[in-house]
Amino acid sequence: NPRGRARGLFVGLLLVFSLFGAQLVRIQGMDADASAALGQQIRVVTESIPAMRGSITDATGTILASSIEKRVVIADPMAIPAYKKKIDGKLTQVGVAGAAADLAPLLGKDQESVAKLLATPKTRYVELHKSTSPLTWHTINQLGIPGIYSKRTSVRSYPQSTTAASLVGFTTANQEGAGGVELYLNSALRGEPGQSQYEIGQDGVRLPMGFTQDTAAQPGRDVSLTIRNDLQWYAQNVLAQKIKEVAATSGTVVVSKAKTGELLALASYPTFDPNKITDDSSLTNLAFTEVFEPGSTAKVITAAAALQEGKVTPQTEMIVPYSLRRSDREFSDSHTHPTEYLTFAGALAQSSNTGTILAGEQVPAATMESYFRKFGLGSKSAVNFPGESAGLLAPAKDWSGSQRYTVLFGQGLSITALQAAGVYQTIANGGVHIAPKLVAAVADGTGALQPTPESVKTRVVSESVARELSEMLEGVVGPEGTAPAAQIKGYRVAGKTGTAERYDSRVGGYSGYTASFIGYAPAGDPELVVSVIIQKPIKGHYGGVVAAPVFHDVMTYALQSLDIPPTPEDTTPPTLQLKLEETPDPDDPAVLRDRGRQ
């Protein structure tokens, strides 16, 4: 029956439309908020707002690293053809060609390359420029080109360039610390990124009156170092000049305050430019990472142990041969000489290996090891810089027969330049070792710089022993010592040269030398410690010739820069006897001589 079929069809349609109506009522009435939120979620784009990294400054506030706000300029090629602008008073559609002509000079690119990017097929996202200044972006935005927008970003700037590069470090493309202080304090410097949410239409273009919500990024915290940029710059340049002059492979200069442990300069060469890193850049700071056998600069530890244990005094008489046999080896001095009659102070001033052995073997091996460790050898410093080495110091029970004696004059163990400087800081500070300090302050949540805790202090030797050692070390830079080139007019200077064979893992043995000089001034009331280490010099290799002149120049500048007054003219420098006027009695048990110990 046609009428019945029509009636059934009508009822079916009515039922379907009723279901649609009920669904519309539920969506637009009962679930309106949830449906609107879902629709908005589909249309809302979320972008990350990068946080500005905190700045790194030196002790005087000089900027070593900072972040600069930039914009990434982005194009939607599908929207560009609609670009219109007034020409001769008439609104004209200029499209891709017109947009390229307007954008090219602002982006610093040629018009053809910009036009090619704007016409990229089958995409709605093309980056036109990754680092545009906010002012330039404002000018671009005023053009009103459809489909042109930007994202916030930042770039890291290092205004001091190569001066403190390996110390300050560098960042990756996404502004994460990748070396030096940038990596060391990345959690404080990086900050917390924010986010920007906005609504787009079906064409992908941001809706001017649509939903917008921004959560601000939290900037990173500023960091202040103990480094002084002027001193770092001077030390870096003097070091570089000397390394080129003597054709060395690398070197370091460490400058610290004797009474606080604060590090004022950590020069390392070769260096690099953190603003433009290349594949062959030397990215590590060698003062923390490179280990080497210190040679004679470590003799001061042996001397300190022998003095502190009461085995010798500065005036102990010694019969010092050119060579002597211990264990399975023959040990000798660096220069051939007849048997000499010296005081212990004289043996140290002349950097005698055999004289050091005669004094050091009086101290048991385990006791000697304990002094090495109290001076900071065999463990990382409190700085714990990225890549820092602890050096190599085997337990005394594992020392071979010959190693028992080689460690006494600085071979058979390895240290870093920072550890070497710490040994002399201890003596300069009256026998108290102060852990080195690199970070002076870190900003809190309000941006106020908060000082870091004071460094840990450890008594290593008595004040009287430190004073005796200091007087002996003044003899090293005297006319009868090994480093007269380290003398500074108007100031008393104490220090020690080092010339050690250099172990090279690439050749599996010793190759070349490590030349060094470490000292402090003014010797009567020490304020500054300077350590100079130069690796594998070709044109000369003795520490007194290669490293001492660098010490002289850096220390002279540092004393003047920090306004440290000269030694008073009426001050009488120590006059320790170095050479004996008469031949000592070899049978006198108080005289140190080779008694055939094995």
Q: Which CATH class is domain 229-272+284-561?
A: alpha beta
Report the DSSP pairing between strands 323-326 and 250-257: unpaired
Q: How many CA atoms lie within 13 A of 427 on its CB side?
A: 39
Cα–Cα distance for residue pair 321/337, rounded to 1 Å: 8
| Rounded Cα distance, 300 and 518, in Å | 11
Per-position DSSP letters for 173-206, written without gaps between them: TTS-EEEHHHHHTHHHHS-B-EEEEEEB-TTSPB
State the Cα–Cα distance between residues 316 and 345, nearest whole angstrom.
8
CB 101 within 8 A of CB 84: no
pLDDT digit string (tens) for the chain, length 598 residues: 777 777 777 777 788 777 777 777 766 666 666 555 555 556 777 777 778 899 999 999 999 999 998 999 999 998 899 999 988 888 899 999 999 999 999 999 999 999 999 999 888 889 999 989 999 999 999 999 998 988 888 889 999 999 999 999 999 888 899 999 999 999 999 988 888 777 777 656 666 667 777 788 888 999 999 999 999 999 999 999 999 999 999 999 999 999 999 999 999 999 999 998 887 677 899 999 999 999 999 999 999 999 999 999 999 999 999 999 998 899 999 889 999 999 999 999 889 999 999 999 999 999 999 999 999 999 999 999 999 999 999 999 999 999 999 999 999 999 999 999 999 999 999 999 999 999 999 999 888 999 999 999 999 999 999 999 999 999 888 777 778 889 999 999 999 999 998 988 788 788 899 999 999 999 989 999 999 999 999 999 999 999 999 999 999 999 999 999 998 877 777 788 899 999 999 999 999 999 875 4
Structure tokens at 61: 């506030």
Angstrom CA distances, 531 to 32, 76, 344, 511, 552, stand at 75, 58, 24, 22, 11
Q: Are strands 457-459 and 263-269 parallel, antiparallel or unpaired?
A: unpaired
Sign, Cα dihedral of 341, 346, 352, 357: positive
Task: Quote the pLDDT of residue 30.
Answer: 65
Q: Residue 91: how many CB atoms within 10 A of its CB? A: 8
Please name the amino acid found at residue 131: S
What is the DSSP track for 23-81? HHHIIIIITHHHHHHHHHHHHEEEEEEPPPPPPEE-TT--EEEEEEEEEEEEE-TTTGG
* pLDDT at residue 175, rounded to an integer: 86
pLDDT at 364: 96
Q: Which of 350, 308, 349, 346 is nearest to 494 (CA)?
A: 349
Query: Which residues are 87's β-sheet partners?
Result: 90
The fourth-level CATH superfamily of domain 69-155 is Penicillin-binding protein 2a (Domain 2) (3.90.1310.10)
On whether the CB atoms of residues 217 and 47 are closer than 8 A, the answer is no
What distances in angstroms separate CA 265 from CA 223, 268, 499, one per listed residue? 16, 10, 23
H helix or E strand, kind and range, residue 475? helix 463-476
Q: Which CB contacts under 8 angstroms, 24+ apart, belong to 268-271?
A: 268/166, 268/167, 268/236, 269/236, 269/239, 269/240, 269/243, 271/162, 271/165, 271/166, 271/236, 271/240
The amino acid sitting at 221 is R
Residue 45's CB is within 10 A of a number of other CB atoms, namely 11
Question: Domain ranges in the chain?
Answer: 69-155, 229-272+284-561
Closest CA relative to residue 99, chosen from 126, 122, 71: 126
pTM (2 decimals)?
0.85
Q: What is the pLDDT of residue 439?
A: 97
Question: In one letter, which amino acid is 14?
Answer: L
